[in-house]
Amino acid sequence: MVTIASSAKELTSCQKHAWDILQREGNVFLTGAAGTGKSYLLGQYLKDKMPDAFPVVASTGAAAVIVGGRTFHSFFGLGILEGGLQASVARALRSRRVLLRLQRAYCVVIDEVSMLSGTLLKAAETVARRARGIDEPWGGLRIIAVGDFAQLPPVTRGNEDKDWAFLHPVWEESDFQPALLSTVVRTQETDFLEILNFVREGTVNERVERFLEERSNVPTSEHVEATRLYPHRAQAESYNLRRLESLPGLERAFQTHYEGDERYMDSARRVVPIPDTLQLKEGALIMMRKNDMQEPQLYVNGSLGWVRRIGDETLTIDLLSGETIEVTPQKFAVLDGDGQEVVGAFNFPVTLAWAATIHKAQGASLDRMIVDLASLWEPGQAYVALSRVRSASGLAIERWHPSSIRAEPLVTTFYNNLADATQKYVPRPLFVTPVGIPKHPIVKKKSKGKREQRAELIRELINKQTSLAKISGVVGIKQDRILLTIEKLVAKGHTLDLSYLTEGIRELSRIRSAFEELGLERLKPVYEQLDEAVSYETLKVVRCVMASAGTDV
């Protein structure tokens, strides 16, 4: 159940509960509906923390720029998982910089965790565990995962099923303590909030229909100053330029100035929230793309206003809130995996705001909004769109269709279970924030156990080109377990010459071709492409050999 806050300036009861959880040991999943204050609470927690010890990583480049962090992929050295999970883990562990930053960190904050697949989360957990040399989840790192699975789903290719992180074994292994925010501070309207709850759950009942029909009768002509949200970028860009051309007066163009490492320029242009060329006229409706960092905070990311006056180095803006502000060009920083700035993008922190995409509006709080809900395709899209606006009175709907209001049943079940778990909260010991960062990484070392000794023996036998059957006899475990140990050795970066294991395998080139086409991560698609004529054990052998050779697929 979601409620509204009596005052947005003090912590709500659920925020206080979440704050207590953040102060205690263990991994945390900070979540809640849109507008419940996840970002605010996290900002308060990190306010006095050292960035190297408490790095913030985001699931996408655009999110990283907004939160002032780095991408999840770059921090853990995973790239785009080229060659599959095992090959990517092995590459990451060969990077001294990845090892160093993971050993120096005490806690990693993962923002927008819902957009990360379970496979990707497991890859990062494996890298952290091995980089730190501690056989515990995440190598003993504290993880604070932040996000809402009801808003942004994980990115998948084609028609593949979504690889939800909370369904992957790594989620349970991480033992996240749920910090569930249920009080919305973005709006104070009970009726509107209840409608948002229904939409979040994918429910289209009589109340939702009546609300959407009522908001569909609100004028949406071009004379209404509000941001239109569209599902597709081309629609938003076309509408913005058309409205700008219709204004009288001289158009001014401000080029975004980029400074930094040329290798990162193309990716930087894709992720900063401002265009390469900012086109403005006096009278243009704009959206602020940064939070006001001074007190009193007069605007936030998403605040709307009209351009009153354009100077070479200043914009005078009349905010819809009634305040008049002056802004100068500001920097949007793009960071590498080490948290070092690699590109700085300089321009006024505004974009044209007659239109935006639903995705780009994520995280923004809009004063007035016109939205097209007629042809959405993702679960949660309608909820993300409707929850951007501060008040129902600021909302107008161009079109809508019941099929666009969808929720993922797996997510609904997950949050129902999460609410139950929250009721059974048992406080953990207080987390003592370390003072400073050690100059030399401290890595706990454990005495070699049975598994490590067995792995060393298998590695020695492999170096002697011993057959799998003989290794099985010497070590006393099945060939399946031997292959699993070999895969782990390869992932840790051990150089093994396994080519002899494929000698005598029939149709080897055909098997390799299937892996190169379909990737090394899953065996079933390869098994099916080979007409189920090659055993899984043979496929595992070939996969091991290809992974050890660093084959790019």
pLDDT digits (tens, 9 = 90+) for 399-447: 888 888 888 889 889 988 888 888 888 888 888 766 555 444 444 444 4
My answer on whether 29 and 128 are in the same domain is: yes
> What CATH number is attached to the domain comprising 178?
3.40.50.300
Residues 6+ apart with CB under 8 A from 216: 396, 397, 398, 399, 400
- Residue 433 belongs to a domain: no
**Residue 537: predicted pLDDT:** 81
My answer on whether 98 and 210 are in the same domain is: no
Sort 33 into a burial class: Cβ within 10 Å, 0-12 / 13-18 / 19+: buried
pLDDT band of residue 5 (cuts 50, 70, 90) is: very low
Total number of domains in the chain: 3
My answer on whether 214 and 171 are in the same domain is: no
- Residue 146 belongs to a domain: yes
My answer on whether 166 and 199 are in the same domain is: no
Strand 341-347, strand 3-4: pairing: unpaired
> What CATH number is attached to the domain comprising 504?
1.10.10.1390
Count Cβ atoms below 10 Å from residue 244 Cβ, excluding itself: 17
Question: Quick check: 540 and 104 in contact, CB under 8 A?
Answer: no
**Residue 503: predicted pLDDT:** 84
Count Cβ atoms below 10 Å from residue 329 Cβ, excluding itself: 17
**Residue 433: predicted pLDDT:** 66
My answer on whether 224 and 284 are in the same domain is: yes
My answer on whether 467 and 544 are in the same domain is: yes
My answer on whether 204 and 150 are in the same domain is: no
- Tell whether the model's pLDDT for residue 226 goes beyond 50: yes
Question: For the chain, what's the residue count?
Answer: 553
My answer on whether 32 and 174 are in the same domain is: yes
- Residue 474 belongs to a domain: yes
What does the pLDDT look like over 229-240, one tens digit per residue? 887 888 888 889
Look up the domain containing 279 and give its range.
190-408
**Residue 67: predicted pLDDT:** 62
- Residue 139 belongs to a domain: yes
- Tell whether the model's pLDDT for residue 174 goes beyond 90: yes
- Tell whether the model's pLDDT for residue 56 goes beyond 50: yes
- Residue 118 belongs to a domain: yes
Span 39-58, average pLDDT: 86
Span 467-490, average pLDDT: 78
- Report the percentage of the chain scoring pLDDT > 90: 20
My answer on whether 215 and 337 are in the same domain is: yes
Mean pLDDT of the chain: 82
**Residue 6: predicted pLDDT:** 38
**Residue 254: predicted pLDDT:** 93
My answer on whether 490 and 386 are in the same domain is: no
**Residue 500: predicted pLDDT:** 87
- Residue 322 belongs to a domain: yes
β-sheet bridge partners, residue 227: 369
Selection from 423, 458, 531, 526 nearest residue 84 by Cα: 526
- Name the more confident of 89 and 432: 89
pLDDT band of residue 2 (cuts 50, 70, 90) is: very low
- Residue 417 belongs to a domain: no
What does the pLDDT look like over 260-280, one tens digit per residue? 888 888 877 877 888 889 999
Residues 6+ apart with CB under 8 A from 451: none
